[in-house]
């Protein structure tokens, strides 16, 4: 039994994060506490590990983390009227810290989960129970939770798949079924497509005879399409006039309309604003001028308007650093890793990967699940 450490607490916080997302619709306090605790713990363990002799934390990753903190502090300084979303100030540092730290500590984390399987399994069981309770007592729960709830459900799926792979216990497939139902009912097209990709990956890894996979995948995909077509989700894949938007704007729920406004703001900025950003509220005000006071629903626009080209460069460098390290670790086959990387960047482009901490955390457990040679 490993003694209590901040790093062990950090792992537990990632395990319980789906639960904090599920209760967020009724009370935001738990999620805010868990997220802030995650950030504080990450700062502590990252720099403690970086200063340790023989550490795997590189000087380049330390520079990226410090740069992300510095540019976020500058963006906070520019946001003179108060933050519209309190968490905006933490998203980029969290993204960079998370990717740079866990890229080098994945083996310890996997060992901790295997050693403390019952503890981690209890987090999955509790999160699943609460989610099911909310779904039963409030039939509109998934719909009103939308992307936020779908991100928590996606994380819980990945955590349960990792436990299923480690134990071969079929009870861990129950969260997969429940969370798939939740994502389906959330009407979030982005997470529905992410779920489909994940289910295909799971099905491929689960079947020992790959011939069965290739024979059955087309009928199963056809069944999936039929289920979507016969549900309320189908309305979100059809053209439906939204406000005064054009056809493309209606299909994308206004995204192309306010993305254009975001790009205009970036192009009209000074050289300093293009390099270092406008502050965290700028994207909300740009979107409010054409639709509503909302974020960009696109990581790249969110980051470049808030923290400029410098911030966007940090964002991509952290992701590339993580990918490069985890490709060596997972040994899952480059084609499969490309598919999964596309999955996360797809979410980043159409919804938001870095500003949904549950989606960011899911990256760690998904790569652990993909690790070649793990038993089923």
User: pLDDT for 101-146, tens place per residue?
Assistant: 998 888 888 888 888 778 889 999 999 999 999 999 998 888 787 8
First to last CA, the chain: 24
- 344 pLDDT more than 80: yes
Q: What is the mean pLDDT of the chain?
A: 88
Helix (H) or strand (E) holding 125: helix 117-137
* φ/ψ (deg, to 5) at 151: -65, -40
The pLDDT tens digits for 220-269 are 999 988 888 777 676 665 555 455 566 666 666 778 889 999 999 999 99
Cα→Cα distances 7→44, 318, 360, Å: 9, 21, 18
Using the 8-state DSSP alphabet, how is residue 291 labeled? T
Distance between CA atoms of residues 127 and 14, nearest Å: 12
The pLDDT tens digits for 64-83 are 999 999 999 999 999 987 89
Helix (H) or strand (E) holding 9: helix 6-22
Q: What pLDDT score does 375 carry?
A: 43
Q: How long is the chain?
A: 376
Are 19 and 127 a contacting pair, CB within 8 Å?
yes
Neighbours of 269 (CB within 10 A): 18
The pLDDT tens digits for 305-329 are 999 999 999 999 999 999 888 887 7
Are 182 and 135 a contacting pair, CB within 8 Å?
yes
The pLDDT tens digits for 9-52 are 999 999 999 999 999 989 999 999 999 999 999 999 999 999 98
Q: What pLDDT score does 327 carry?
A: 80
Are 277 and 305 a contacting pair, CB within 8 Å?
yes
For 227, the 3-state DSSP assignment is: helix
Confidence of residue 55 (pLDDT cuts 50, 70, 90): confident
Q: What pLDDT score does 76 carry?
A: 95
Confidence of residue 270 (pLDDT cuts 50, 70, 90): very high
Structure tokens that stand for 320 in this block: 């590339």
Distance between CA atoms of residues 73 and 79, nearest Å: 10
Q: What pLDDT score does 367 carry?
A: 87
Using the 8-state DSSP alphabet, how is residue 293 labeled? S
Q: What pLDDT score does 5 carry?
A: 87
Structure tokens that stand for 48 in this block: 């403690």
Q: At what angle do helices 357-370 and 6-22 cross, to 10 degrees?
A: 120
Are 195 and 236 a contacting pair, CB within 8 Å?
no
pTM, whole model, 2 decimals? 0.92
Are 118 and 124 a contacting pair, CB within 8 Å?
no
Q: What pLDDT score does 189 carry?
A: 87
Question: pLDDT over 70 for what percent of the chain?
Answer: 92
Distance between CA atoms of residues 323 and 331, nearest Å: 12
Distance between CA atoms of residues 284 and 265, nearest Å: 11
Q: What pLDDT score does 336 carry?
A: 73
Q: What pLDDT score does 372 carry?
A: 59
Q: Which residues contact 127 (CB under 8 A, 6 or more apart)?
A: 16, 18, 19, 22, 152, 156, 175
The pLDDT tens digits for 345-369 are 999 999 999 999 999 999 999 988 8
Distance between CA atoms of residues 371 and 326, nearest Å: 9
Q: What pLDDT score does 376 carry?
A: 44
- 214 pLDDT more than 80: yes
């Amino acid at each position: 039994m490993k003694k209590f450490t901040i790093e062990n607490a950090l792992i537990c916080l990632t395990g319980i994060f789906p639960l904090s997302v599920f209760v967020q619709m009724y009370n935001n306090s738990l999620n805010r506490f868990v997220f802030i605790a995650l950030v504080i713990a990450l700062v502590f363990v990252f720099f403690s590990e970086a200063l340790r002799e023989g550490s795997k934390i590189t000087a380049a990753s330390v520079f990226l983390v410090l740069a992300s903190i510095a540019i976020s502090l500058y963006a906070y300084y520019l946001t003179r009227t108060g933050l519209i979303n309190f968490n905006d100030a933490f998203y980029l540092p969290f993204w960079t810290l998370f990717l740079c730290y866990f890229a080098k500590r994945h083996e310890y984390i996997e060992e901790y989960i295997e050693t403390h399987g019952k503890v981690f399994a209890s987090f999955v069981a509790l999160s699943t129970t609460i989610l099911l309770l909310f779904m039963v007592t409030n039939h509109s729960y998934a719909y009103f939770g939308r992307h936020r709830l779908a991100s928590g459900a996606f994380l819980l799926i990945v955590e349960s798949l990792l436990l299923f792979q480690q134990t071969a216990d079929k009870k861990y497939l129950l969260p997969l079924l429940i969370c798939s139902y939740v994502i389906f009912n959330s009407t979030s097209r982005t997470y529905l497509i992410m779920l489909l990709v994940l289910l295909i990956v799971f099905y491929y890894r689960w079947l020992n005879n790959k011939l069965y996979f290739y024979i059955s995948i087309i009928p199963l995909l056809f069944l999936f399409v039929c289920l979507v077509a016969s549900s309320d989700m189908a309305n979100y894949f059809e053209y439906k006039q939204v406000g005064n938007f054009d056809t493309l704007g209606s299909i994308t729920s206004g995204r192309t309309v306010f993305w254009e406004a975001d790009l205009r703001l970036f192009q009209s900025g000074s050289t300093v604003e293009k390099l270092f950003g406008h502050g965290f509220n700028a994207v909300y005000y740009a979107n409010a001028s054409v639709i509503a006071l909302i974020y960009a629903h696109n990581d790249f626009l969110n980051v470049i308007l808030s923290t400029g080209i410098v911030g966007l460069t940090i964002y991509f460098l952290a992701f590339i650093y993580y990918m490069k390290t985890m490709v060596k670790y997972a040994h899952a086959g480059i084609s499969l890793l490309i598919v999964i990387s596309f999955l996360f960047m797809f979410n980043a482009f159409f919804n938001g990967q870095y500003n949904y901490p549950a989606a960011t955390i899911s990256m760690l457990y998904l790569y652990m699940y993909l690790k070649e040679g793990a038993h089923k």
